[in-house]
Amino acid sequence: MTILEVQSLKKIYTTRFGGNQVQALSQVSFSVEQGEYVAIMGESGSGKTTLLNILAALDKPTGGQVLLDGKPLSAINEKELAAFRRKNLGFVFQEFNLLDTFSVRDNILLPLVLGNTSVTEMEKRLAPVAEQLGIASHLDKYPYEISGGQKQRTAVARAIITEPRLILADEPTGALDSKSTDDLLQVFQQIYSMGQTILMVTHSTKAASHANRVLFIKDGEVFHQIYRGGCNNEQMYQKIANTLTILATGGDHR
């Protein structure tokens, strides 16, 4: 079943007085199936972040549309948008984006609180998530008291506690050391294996090698995609690296 369908997405940024136009996305189309783990790779300026913002309904496309569960995002009005985002999407960011005034527990619970969930229900959901991510003993600490890896796991917990249809991860390993990166990718692997759909935007070949499909974006278009097939992570890594080399040397493969 298709969860996310992106149809010929186009985004043009115009400077305030309409002078210069910059095309961030020219023609992006792809779809994500239920339970898939997709990585999107591309260089800086290739339009990754723009794509993610549009998928998150934080930005509006100039042309084309995004369907979530067959429903176009553009059909949701401004007022319901926040609630929609809260219910259907979970976010993991490079910079963690934890609130420094909240404890780990409150950071995780924030989306549920915003959705007016009852206290008992929140506690029922929190316990297994915290356990799974190995932060159960840190719940009462504050973000500045824990390590980067723990912060990112807190952010993941915040993303999955609402049981969203889709998790959007923006360079989730970008601010982590290699040990924490391994841990986090392990966590992603784990929630993926439990049936969670994940869409991850990344620079890191290693991070992408955990996905079961990798899309490459160049100059605002989907340039290429590779499937895991039967490969293990190392083979997948090699495949991605090869593709990146071709991309970098200017191959015109389509």
Partner 1 sequence: MRHGFYLKMSLTNLRKNARLYLPQMFTGAGLTAVFYILLTLAMDERLKNVRGGSYLPTIMPMGTFVVAILSVILIFYTNSFLMKQRKREFGFYNVLGLEKRHVGRILFWESTLSTLASVISGLLLGVLLYKLCALLICRILQVDSVLGFYHVSATSIVPSALFFILVYLAAFLFNRIQITRLNPLELLQSTHTGEKEPRIKWLLLIIGVLSLGAGYYLAVTTDNPLNALNLFFFAALLVILGTYCLFVTGSIALLKFLKGRKSFYYHPRHMISVSGLMYRMKQNAMGLASISILAAMVLVMVSTTASMYTGVKDTLIRKYPHDFYVSASYDTESEQNREIPFEDLREIIYQAARQNHLEIADDCQVTYFACAFNKKQENEFSTNHSENITQIVQCFFVTANEYERLTGTAVSLEKDQLAICSSATKSDIFAVGDTLTMAGKTFSCAQELTSFPVNMSAYSLVNCYGIVVSDEDVFNEIFDFQEKAYKDAASHVNKQLVFDFADEKAVEKSYDNFTDAMYEGIRDYVDSQPESTGGYGTVVDSLWDTMEYLYGMYGTLLFLGILLSLVFLFATALIIYYKQISEGYEDGERFQIMQKVGMSSDEIRGTIRSQILMVFFLPLMVAAMHMAFAFPMLTKLLRVLFQSDEQLFLLCTVASLGVFAMIYVAIYGMTARVYYRIVK
* Binding mask of the shown chain, residues 63 to 92, with x at each position contacting partner 1 by CB under 8 A: ----------------x-xxx-xx--x-x-
Residues 42, 47, 61, 143: which binds partner 1 (CB under 8 A)?
A: 143
Stretch that binds partner 1, among 138-146, 173-181, 187-195, 244-252 (CB under 8 A): 138-146
Residues 101, 137, 178, 232: which binds partner 1 (CB under 8 A)?
A: 101
Assess 150 for contact with partner 1 (CB under 8 A).
no
Assess 163 for contact with partner 1 (CB under 8 A).
no
- Smallest gap from residue 79 Cβ to partner 1 (A): 7
Closest to partner 1 by CB, 10 or 141: 141
Residues in contact with partner 1, counted by CB under 8 A, come to a total of 33
Residues 97, 147, 238, 242: which binds partner 1 (CB under 8 A)?
A: 97
Tell me the C-alpha distance between 132 and 146, whole Å: 17
- Smallest gap from residue 120 Cβ to partner 1 (A): 9
Assess 186 for contact with partner 1 (CB under 8 A).
no
Assess 100 for contact with partner 1 (CB under 8 A).
yes
SS (H, E, C) the chain: CEEEEEEEEEEEEECCCCCCEEEEEEEEEEEEECCCEEEEEECCCCCHHHHHHHHCCCCCCCEEEEEECCEEHHHCCHHHHHHHHHHHEEEECCCCCCCCCCCHHHHHHHHHHHCCCCHHHHHHHHHHHHHHHCCHHHCCCCHHHCCHHHHHHHHHHHHHCCCCCEEEEECCCCCCCHHHHHHHHHHHHHHHHCCCEEEEEECCHHHHCCCCEEEEEECCEEEEEEECCCCCHHHHHHHHHHHHHHHHCCCCCC
Assess 122 for contact with partner 1 (CB under 8 A).
yes
* Binding residues for partner 1 (CB under 8 A): 56, 58, 79, 81-83, 85-86, 89, 91, 93, 97-103, 106, 109-111, 113-116, 119, 122, 142-145, 158
